[in-house]
Every structure is written in C-alpha cells, then in structure tokens.
Structure 1
Amino acid sequence: MEKSSLISSEIKKLEVKPSVTAALTNPTVQSQVINELDTLSKEDQTRKAEENVIDNEIIVVKSSKLGKKFKGPGNKRQESVVEAFKHAWKGYKTFAWGHDMLKPLSKSYHDWFSLGLTLVDALDTMIIMNLEENFLEARDWVNQTLVFSNKKDVNLFEVTIRVLGGLLSAYHLSNDVMFLNKATDLGTRLLPCFDTVSGVPHSDVNLGTLQAHSPKWSPDSSTSEVTTIQLEFRDLSRCTGDPKFEESAAKVSAHVHQLEKTEGLVPIFINANTGNFRLYSTITLGARGDSYYEYLLKQWIQTGRTIDYLKEDYIEAINGVQKLLVRRTTNKKLVFVGELLSGGKDFKPKMDHLTCYLPGTLALGVMYGMPKQHMDLAEELLYTCYQTYAYQPTFLAPEISYFNIQDNAQSDIYVKANDAHNLLRPEFVESLWVMYQITGNTTYQDWGWQIFQGFERYTKVEHGYTSIGNVKSTIKTRPKDIMESFFLGETLKYLYLLFSDDRNELSLKEFVLNSEAHPLPIYNS
C-alpha cells in the first residue's frame, strides 16, 4: 500500500464526532472513550454526553474547564492588555470569525490557509488570561468547524507552529482531548512532507490530497522552517504514544547536525532532495535563519537536556555569532547582530526585528547552564532592540534596522523607507518577558509598557489593531489593514505575562514555548 494511502487510512481512524468532548487527563482512557463514542449514532452520542456516563465509569462532558492556575489579570497593566485582547477579539469575531486574519479597516478578513489561524493561535492566550467565555466559544468552533481535509496547500512550518502548536498547547492547558485529536489529525496530514530522499522535508503539502512539494518559487526550503517543527512533532508523539511524528522531525535535526557549517552558523536555504545547504546563501539570525538556533536550545530543554549534540551545536553557533556577526556602532557602541552575504564573505550591518528573539534565547540558555557570558550579550542586545523602538517617534520598531559602523557616522541606527513597517511583531517583548522572569528586573516591564502604549496610540483602530507602514511618523503611519494572528497568539500574551506580579505565572522551568509562543511541557528525556 502506498504511503499516502496508509496515511489516509490513519486519518479516517482519527475522525471523532464533533458533538462530544472527553475531558479526561489519562490519554489511554481518553482513547477508549473516543473509540466507544465513534461506534454510536450521533443521537446516542448526544444522549451519552448528556447523561455524562458511559458504562457507569467514564465521565464525558460537553466542554472542558480551563487550566488549573491562571487567575486572570492582577494589576492595571495586565488589565489593559486584556482589554486590548478583548477589543481585537471583538473585531475578529464580528468580521473574520473562523478565518485566518482580520482586516480591521475594511471590516473583512484574509485567508492564508483557511484554518482559523487567529482563533487557534489565541486559544492558549485566552486560557492564560482566564477569558473562559471567549475560550469556550472558540473551542466550540474548533470542535464543530475546523477540518483539515480541504484540498489546499499549506506551509509545513507555519501550520506546525501556529495550528499544531496551538492545538497541543490548548490540550495541555485545558485537558480537553478534543484538541489532541485535532492535532493528531493535522500532524498525520503533515507527515508526507518528510517523504524525501534526504529526510529534509518539503515546505508545502496539500492537506486533502496529501501531496507534498517544494515551494513554487524555489527548489529549496528555508533552513529555519525545516528545523522549527521538532518541538511540536515530538510533543505530539509524547501525547499519543506514536513515535512516528517525533522520529520524522528529529531525523531532520540529526541530518543538519552532520552538515558542514560556518563556525556553527547555517545558510538560510536547504534542498529537500539533496539534503545540502544552498551554496553562497545568506547567513543570518533574521528571516529564514532565526529559529534554527532557537530550537537547538529549546529541543535540548524539552528533552530534559539529554541530547548532547543539540547543546553542542547551540554553543558552537553562539560562539560563531560572537565571532562573525556581532558588531558595535560607532557612536553609542550599540551591540547588534548583522548578516553574512555570499556564503560568509561579506558583512552587512542589518538586523531584522525577528533577531530580537535572541536575547531571550540566550538568557534561557544561561538559566539552564549555558556559558554565563551569554547573558552579557543578551543584555547588550536587548538594549539595542529597545533602542530600535526608542529611536522612532511612534515608539514602535521597524521591520529592519541598519547600523552605522563607519567612523564618520552621524547616527547609530537608520531605517530605509521600505523597511519602516511594523507588523505588531512579538520578538522583543518575548525577550523582555524571558529576561524579566529570570532576573526580576522591573525595567523590562517599563520598556514593555512603553511599547504597549505605542501599539495603543498608533495601531489601534475601531475594530481591532492594524499593522502600519511607517513607524517614522506619528501622522502618516500608513495603516496596512491586517492584524496578524501572532498579535493575539504572541505579542499580547507576552505583554500580559511580562506585566504579571508573579514572574513565574507561566514557568520556564515547566514549559518550553514554541516559536509561536505556545507552551509545551518539558519532558525528562
């Protein structure tokens, strides 16, 4: 039997009637409940659910309770973030319900994969903020409406971090098995991506036909994309007891480990057929390179710090960053992380906002025993990221900043017109939260509050929040009429946690957060 046929048969086994939710904590018992319910008619399922009993042993309820320890906002700043979430959610519910992203100005929506990205991305945010009514309403949509059988191409990386990660996190925080079953269905449909000669996955797959392929614009996949799926696939295996998800994704990391690198740094493109990096491609900790380094550390943490090569590759990479990519500006000596072009030959003093995840990653590593000097780089780089906000009259950072390293430089940071947009990104506030949790330094809370006020002043509109095209002007901000799903899934979540009086409200000793801010448990191995 062909692999696609095998996967199709497995998907059929996973289909669970949407009218019933098993809210149990034992996965084995959960599976037994689902199998029994599947043999019943829809009417009998409803009756059993209402009786709340199957064979006088198994409890079945219509909706799950929220997580065990989230009490809602504890101070004015947290309350303000919750109000921002409610404002954005109201616009999404009114004009984009079940669609991927809200277009708040045109009171419409944008679909990328038609998988309710904003809704799924925000599930765990609502749990953490204790917005039970909103969560249960969203949960019902996932249960009754979210399906993965549509014949539409999706990106493996984006769907893994947003949807698979969102479903798994919602499962862990709510104990609602419905989310796990949805995640298993999706994860199974993503597996054809790994059916390549090298084991390096294709970037795209049709969830309905189960046909995987490289991106239409290139024969190569992005290095960060193929190495930023391991947390989610490993967690899915640990939850289901089925090793195929973890094995497929872990092979990619093991393969990349064997490839030749530049001081531990990797080019941003890799070919799924040959398994090799594209020659002379850029080396960056920004777009298409960033989360490779993040997931080296986080995989090591997720697996109880038991996979030595992940730790070794991470340390080698950070040493490479310090040796090849770190520079200081001429005037204020701001530390930044640049890029290497042409396979490492030419240095470019350019830093994406995406790179501002790095201070938090470095600090997290130090917390788990990585070299203490990494914290020095984390603190200096965090300050530079803060300056990319403070340099702008809107107090919002551009998508890309350039840094002056010439002797006669007039200013430290400059922004090109095409790079002046702000997409409501989370990377800097993510690092602020991690640094605050580890150090307790309340300055990081104050920095985050300044940024939140910038969002409130210049991106808030009547029906939500919008990306803007120009952070260099408080008057001509050029709203872009799109609210990315990560604004609710990441940015507001990180701000809410940053402002908590309890630094460990979501403890980094219990959870590792995926690249889309979805908390997943840390295992012993």
Structure 2
Amino acid sequence: MAVYPEHVALNLPTDRTYEKRKTKSLRRQWNHLSKLQKNCIYSLTAFFCLTIFYILLNTPDDPVIKTRNEESILLKSVPNSKPYFNDREIRNGNYQERVIEHPKDADLEINVNVDDFKPNRLMEFTGPTTLRQKAVVEAFQHAWKGYKQYAWGHDHLKPITKSHHDWFGLGLTIVDSIDTIYIMGLKEEYLEARTWIDKHLQFDVNKDINVFEVTIRVLGGLLSIYHLSSDKMYIDKAVDLADRMMSCFNSNSGIPFSDINLFTRKPHSPKWSPDSSTSEATTIQLEFRDLSRITGDPKYEISASKVSEIVHNLEKTDGLVPIFINPNTGRFRFSSTITLGARGDSYYEYLLKQWLQTGKTIDYLKEDYITALQGVEQHLVRHTVPNGFLFLGELLNGGKDFKPKMDHLTCYFPGTLALGVHNGLPEHHLKLAEDLLTTCYQTYARHPTFLAPEITYFNIQGENSNDMYVKADDAHNLLRPEFVESLWYMYQLSGNSTYQNWGWRIFQGFQNYTKVLNGYTSIGNVRSATDTRPRDKMESFFWQKL
C-alpha cells in the first residue's frame, strides 16, 4: 500500500458515491451489448457456476485420494531413466513415458495407522475383482499369516514344524513377495513388509551369499516394488546391496564369481567347483542395468553388461552354451551339459529381455538369441512316442549325447518365446511356445495331485505306452513359478482363456496337496495323492507363483 505525505490533500468520493457511479456505468455498458453478446455472457456464467458446483461435489475427503492428486508432481522425465509401460499399453501400442523424479530432501514417513498410510504411488491397484482372484489373494493371506507368526524376518517358513529356515539371513520371503502384496492391494500386509524392510533389512551380514540368488530375489524385489510405489527408500536399500556385491566382478576375466561375503565384500567361487553357473553369471544384467538407469550411476550396468559381451564372443554349439563358465579364464567348461534347465535356463531368457530393456538397440543380444533358438530347434527339440508331445532335452559330453530329460525350470521358455514373437521375432517361435507349453501342462495333468515333478523323462524310442515318466528321486515339487509365468505371458499376449483355466486347475492342485495349517509346503512325491511326503518348507519364490 502506498504511503502519502501528510501535507497532500485528496478529495475521495464516499463508498456510496463510488458504488452509484460504478452501477450506472455497468448498466450503460450492458444496455449497449447486442442480444448475441448477452446470450454468450449468460452461457459462460452458467457454465462457470456448474463447473464450480461439480468440483465442490467431487472434492475427495479421503486423504489417500487427495495424496494421489498431489503426487502428480512425481511424473517428470529425468536423465538415465527408461519408460515403464503397463501390459494394456504394450498390447495397444500406446507407449507413453512415465518415469519418476523424487522431490529433493523428501522424507517418507511410516505411519502406524494403515488407514492413514500415504505412499508415493506410481501405479494403483484395486485388489481382486473376480472369484478366482479373491481365492488366490486368500491363499496368499493364509501363507502370510503363517510366515508372520512363525518365521517373521527370516528367509523361509517351515509351516509344519512352525519354525523357520535361513539361507542368507535377508528376509527373502518379505522382499521377494512385497511387489505381489502391492499388486494385490493388501495395505496392511504391505505396511508390515515395508516397515520391516525400512527398519530391519541390513546387508552387513558376515555370511557368504550367492550373487545370482540375492540379485533376482532381493535386488530384483527392491527394484520391482520401487517401480510400483516410487518409494525412494527401496532404492537406497538397493544401492547398498549392489555396492556390496560389485566386487564379484573383480575376476581375471570379468565373469563374476558366484559367491560373496556381504560384510567383507570378498568374492569367491563355490566350495564345490572353480566355475560359476552360466545362467547365474548371465542373469544379473537386467537388475544391475535397471539400477544404473534409476540412479544415474553407470558402474552397475558397465560391469554387468561386460559379462554379456564376453559370453557373446565365446565359441558355442550353434548358439547353445555349456552350463559352467570359469571366472578366472572366462571360458566355458565344454564337457558340461547343454540344457535350457538348471544352470543354463535364464541365459537365453535374459538375452531377449536385455535386448528389450535396452530399447532393441544392442544387436548382438538379438542375434545371440535367434542363433540359440536355431540351436534349440536343431539339437534339443524332440517328440514323444506315442502322442508326439514336444519337449526340450539335454546334450551331454560336450554335445555328443542326447538325454530325453527336461527340468520343470525349462517351462519358463514358452513365455519367453511368446514375448519375442510379440516384439517382432520369427512367428514360428510361437508354435514352439504353444507345443512346449502343452507338454509342460501335461507334466502337471498326468499326476493325481495335478502337480509337476522337478524333472520329467520322455519316451522317444517307443519302449512303452507312456509318453513321459518320473523317477522317484525327481518326483518332488518345490512350488516353482516358471510354468505359471509362461501361462501369464501366453494369456496376456493371446487372450486365450485356456491358459487361465490351466492356471486355475494347477492352483487347485496346490490348494489340495500343498496347503497345510500354517502355509504351503513343498512336497516329495507328486505321483501319489495319499503319500505326498511334505518337506516342510515354503520357498520365497512361491509368492511369485501367486
């Protein structure tokens, strides 16, 4: 407000005089308007009033909803980040970047009242909407209740003896399942898990851990829930963990050692071999690259990508790799088995997914994947007698001998194939995916428990009337998620409800033969409905299946 000197005199009209003149002036202006102009003003005034009325009626009283509106400031583009798409956008081809930048110095508080819990959210999930979804969520809550009561903070629940098992001492079940909790919309369970991770998950553990297992379960779990929630706390934890594992790449060749002590940060090969498993060395790239993209620190991606480059330049059997590689020499153990099962499986999966993760810009990843597929079709594909089920066998002794054996782990492959076709790779891969998925389903459906064994053998010589058989030592089921993952991909990309129905039937098998009072247990025998031989362990990857 201006301050006037005392010696200046001003003659100001009274409020009443001013209002009179103003009213006359406005009336004259109004009378000079045309009829059309008056109608336009009437319409605009009515529209403005209705808009204000609508906004007042729809203003949310729920503080959580109000927070979601305020969180739109998080949707900003930042350097070294990649876009993330939901499945519907991918199918429709509507790609829109939606990446996150955290407000500086933002503190995320834990509120003990779940009703007032306001996470920074990038994605929203409403919870189950169908009877089948509700049944799956109830199964999850049943398992969570047992874990929380008897194994909270430990790696695995032993539901029968009401105790726990620790492999690495990192709360594997909590970290491995928190993204599932979030997607299911379980607010109370999510708050419990987040609070434990924030307050109790520490990585200065003076214990050897397997780099691959901790990467896919813990680092991957932290990255996954970060992308869902945009909660920076998870990235802080992920950086701490990754930094502790970085020295695993300090080998003569750049191929990572399989094990490391998170406290001393000293890497080494496993006690039973000088070699690393090929799949383990080549299945950490997605997570380390993702961490670099989020943080802007390239060191994680550089070290992990170098491994892929080294393997790319190695001699292979028509694109197929042996299951062991030496971190000191950087060479394969060529006498070892070639398989898409244990110790070989995810090498092929990560070729494709790395190519997609990098925006289809690294050609050798695509080339190695396609060449490997040709090798699979040439060397590993066989059909059973008498019904002609397609399966993927193994090559022994450096590729000289064929073994008609397939691990349940191999059942991840149909989903990978379908994902490749969806992204422009050869169409005939889809037929291979469909046929292999059918065989994987048969490994469930042919047993009275409707559960698959760990390993299945196949009849290719016509020695009996059964297409497949299971040895006693291979008849166990560890609650693995690979086949369910393939069913999800195949349904999402094809819309064929048969895959949903197969998944539901298998879910019922788990309900009938692995569910116990305090959770779910792996079993030793899928071949008998009356003698399943429970093993009293619920693996952390079981939660991924749900």
Tell me the CA shift for residue 304 of structure 1.
0.9
Tell me the CA shift for residue 70 of structure 1.
1.4
What is the 5 A alignment of 1:311-460? 311-460=366-515
After TM superposition, the score normalised by the length of structure 2 is 0.80
Distance 1:434 1:79, change over 3 A: same
Tell me the CA shift for residue 279 of structure 1.
2.3
Corresponding position of 1:257: 312
User: Are the equivalent residues in 2 in contact too, given 1:67–1:127 (CA < 8 A)?
Assistant: no
What is the 5 A alignment of 1:116-515? 116-488=171-543, 490-492=544-546
Distance 1:395 1:126 in 2: 26
Distance 1:151 1:401 in 2: 38
Tell me the CA shift for residue 63 of structure 1.
5.8
Distance 1:141 1:198 in 2: 38
Distance 2:120 2:181 in 1: 12
Whichever of the two has the greater Rg, that structure is 2
Distance 1:91 1:196 in 2: 42
Distance 1:291 1:100, change over 3 A: same
Tell me the CA shift for residue 151 of structure 1.
1.1
**2:371 corresponds to which letter in structure 1?**
E
Distance 1:462 1:329 in 2: 40
User: Are the equivalent residues in 2 in contact too, given 1:66–1:132 (CA < 8 A)?
Assistant: no
Tell me the CA shift for residue 301 of structure 1.
0.7
User: Are the equivalent residues in 2 in contact too, given 1:66–1:127 (CA < 8 A)?
Assistant: no
Tell me the CA shift for residue 170 of structure 1.
0.8
After TM superposition, the score normalised by the length of structure 1 is 0.83
1:99 aligns with 2:154: yes
Distance 1:201 1:252 in 2: 8
SS in 1 for 2:541: helix
Q: Given the alignment, which residue of 79, 89, 96 partners 2:134?
A: 79
Distance 1:181 1:298 in 2: 25
Q: Deviations over 1:232-261 (max 9, x none)?
A: 000000010000000000000000000000
Tell me the CA shift for residue 409 of structure 1.
2.5
Q: Deviations over 1:336-356 (max 9, x none)?
A: 000000010000000000000
| Aligned positions, number | 448
Q: Which runs of 4 or more aligned residues in structure 1 lie more than 2 Å from their structure 2 counterparts after TM superposition?
A: 23-32, 65-69
Tell me the CA shift for residue 68 of structure 1.
2.4
Q: Deviations over 1:2-33 (max 9, x none)?
A: xxxxxxxxxxxxxxxxxxxxx98478974841
**1:485 corresponds to which letter in structure 2?**
S
Which of 1 and 2 has higher RCO (CA within 8 Å, sep 6+)? 1
Distance 1:136 1:175 in 2: 15
**2:345 corresponds to which letter in structure 1?**
D
Distance 2:298 2:202 in 1: 24
Q: Deviations over 1:176-205 (max 9, x none)?
A: 000000000001001000011100000011
Tell me the CA shift for residue 83 of structure 1.
0.2
Distance 1:297 1:315 in 2: 9
**2:387 corresponds to which letter in structure 1?**
K
Distance 1:342 1:456 in 2: 41
Distance 2:478 2:121 in 1: 30
User: Are the equivalent residues in 2 in contact too, given 1:100–1:114 (CA < 8 A)?
Assistant: yes
5+ residue gaps, structure 2, are 1-70, 80-100
Tell me the CA shift for residue 330 of structure 1.
1.2
User: Are the equivalent residues in 2 in contact too, given 1:100–1:115 (CA < 8 A)?
Assistant: yes
Corresponding position of 1:497: none
SS in 2 for 1:284: coil
Tell me the CA shift for residue 135 of structure 1.
0.6
User: Are the equivalent residues in 2 in contact too, given 1:63–1:136 (CA < 8 A)?
Assistant: no
Q: Deviations over 1:139-166 (max 9, x none)?
A: 0000000010121111100000000000
SS in 2 for 1:402: strand
**1:196 corresponds to which letter in structure 2?**
S
The alignment yields a C-alpha RMSD, in angstroms, of: 1.7
SS in 2 for 1:485: coil
Corresponding position of 2:36: none
Q: Deviations over 1:78-114 (max 9, x none)?
A: 0000000000000000001010000000000000000
> Percent of aligned pairs with the same residue?
66
**2:270 corresponds to which letter in structure 1?**
P
SS in 1 for 2:386: coil
SS in 2 for 1:33: coil
Corresponding position of 1:7: none
**1:141 corresponds to which letter in structure 2?**
W
Tell me the CA shift for residue 297 of structure 1.
0.3
User: Are the equivalent residues in 2 in contact too, given 1:153–1:204 (CA < 8 A)?
Assistant: yes
Tell me the CA shift for residue 74 of structure 1.
1.3
Tell me the CA shift for residue 464 of structure 1.
0.2
Distance 2:315 2:172 in 1: 36
Distance 2:506 2:147 in 1: 23
**1:81 corresponds to which letter in structure 2?**
V
**2:162 corresponds to which letter in structure 1?**
K
Distance 1:243 1:113 in 2: 27
**2:545 corresponds to which letter in structure 1?**
T
**1:446 corresponds to which letter in structure 2?**
N
